[in-house]
Amino acid sequence: MSEKEKSENNANSSVFHTNSRRQVLTGVAVGAAALATNRSIHAMPEHVENKSVPPLKNPMSLYPTPPFSKQPQPWPGLQSKMQPVPDCGEKTYQGSGRLKGRHALVTGGDSGIGRAAAIAFAREGADVAINYLPQEEPDAKEVIDLIQKAGRKAVALPGDIRNEDFCKKLVADALAKLGQIDILAHVAGRQKYSEQLTDITTEEFDWTMKTNLYALFWITKAAIPHLPPGSSIITTSSLVSYMPPEILVDYGMSKAGISNFTKSMAKQLLPKGIRVNCVDPGPFWTPLQICGAQPQSAIPNFGGESPFKRPGQPAEIAPLYVTLASTESSYVTGQSWGIVGGTGQPG
């Protein structure tokens, strides 16, 4: 590294030692702009221009901490309207070719955890198709743009996964546009709290099960015949699969089902060379949480009860999706992987 590059690097690193995340990101942008002016000959994808050394900082204060403001949005919500906006690694995730030449279908890829996974997959070299609901188009457009800026093919496949025919079409369209699917990341989910079981209508129960379990069944079933050996299926369950709170009975049941599905399917698909693993997030700052997953009264201290005293940001879980998708994890299947913030199961 030249003396000039060293001093630029140090300047960027020191920016991260400010307390405000906003200041941090502004500082990175300024640093990146300075670098960009010196690199006009070799045009690089934008995320490479923005690259910065991750901060060496206490993880408890790396991201926003409670209190947060109450912020109801009509379901399914837009993360671009959240305060603070979730960090899905847009300005920070740096790939190193771990998924070069791969083809990923990510449900719930517009926002939150799915968005962070989609961005990371693209920056690791995969072409990526995302599914989301039509109401989420503004969030989805940003993700499509970020995938393209990573130099990868981006495919937008909006539609409601509560419908079996749509699930079949989703897989068919992803195959047609990507040429192949070898990473299938099920991230879409529905969480709606109810104080009492007697408050849950059959329609509400059905909504949760259709989104979290039927869609998992339909999409996986449609994809299996097309998944080549070496493929990876990643499901998204939750800490509540093991530690269900009293206000999330139907959601907890569905997440336990996802964890269980992961284990049986891992056994069934290993002879075909397909691995299946499950990610169990703890509290993450995403639209789902402010759109009815919790009472609004729980939002100000969301994540505050974690040992970290803050919720996770989607950028902090995306690397696990990459690891499980990657051939580096060739001996890894049928397992649940928790990023729950230092408490509970699994891990």
Active centre residues (catalytic): 251
CB of 271 to ligand NAD, least distance (A): 28
173 lies in the site for ligand NAD, by CB under 6 A: no
Q: Is 277 in the site for ligand NAD (CB under 6 A)?
A: no
State the minimum distance, in angstroms, from the CB of residue 80 to ligand NAD: 11
Cα–Cα distance list, 176 to 107, 112, 129 (Å): 17, 26, 11
Shortest Cβ 113–Mg ion spacing (Å): 10
Among residues 87, 110, 124, 127, the one that binds Mg ion under rule CB under 5 A? 110
Name the one range near ligand NAD by CB under 6 A: 32-40, 142-150, 278-286, 330-338.
Answer: 278-286
Per-position b or e across 152-180, b if 16+ CB within 10 A of its CB = bebbbbbbbbbebebbeebbebbbebbee
Q: Which of 332, 336, 329, 326 is nearest to 281 (CA)?
A: 336
**Among 21, 153, 162, 169, which residue interacts with ligand NAD (rule: CB under 6 A)?**
162
Dihedral, 186, 188, 194, 200 alpha carbons, nearest 10: -80
Nearer to Mg ion, 133 or 247 (CB): 133
Q: In the bound complex, which residue of the shown chain has the CB atom lying closest to Mg ion?
A: 111
Contacts with ligand NAD in 59-78 (CB under 6 A)? 76
Q: Output the smallest distance, CB 56 to Mg ion, in A.
A: 32
Question: Does 287 participate in binding ligand NAD (rule CB under 6 A)?
Answer: yes
Single residue of 8, 49, 137, 160 touching ligand NAD by CB under 6 A: 160
Site size for ligand NAD, by CB under 6 A? 28
Query: Burial, 6: exposed, middle or buried (Cβ in 10 Å; 0-12, 13-18, 19+)?
Result: exposed
d(CA 274, CA 268): 9
Query: In a 3-state reduction of DSSP, which class is residue 253?
Result: helix
CB nearer Mg ion, residue 139 or residue 182: 139
136 binds Mg ion (CB under 5 A): yes
Q: How many CA atoms lie within 13 A of 194 on its CB side?
A: 17
Q: Two tokens at 156?
A: 């937008």
The CB-of-52 to ligand NAD minimum distance in angstroms stands at 24
Name which of ligand NAD, Mg ion, none residue 284 binds, using a CB cut-off of 5 to 8 Å depending on partner kind: ligand NAD
Is the backbone of residue 65 left (phi > 0), alpha (psi -120 to 50) or beta?
A: beta
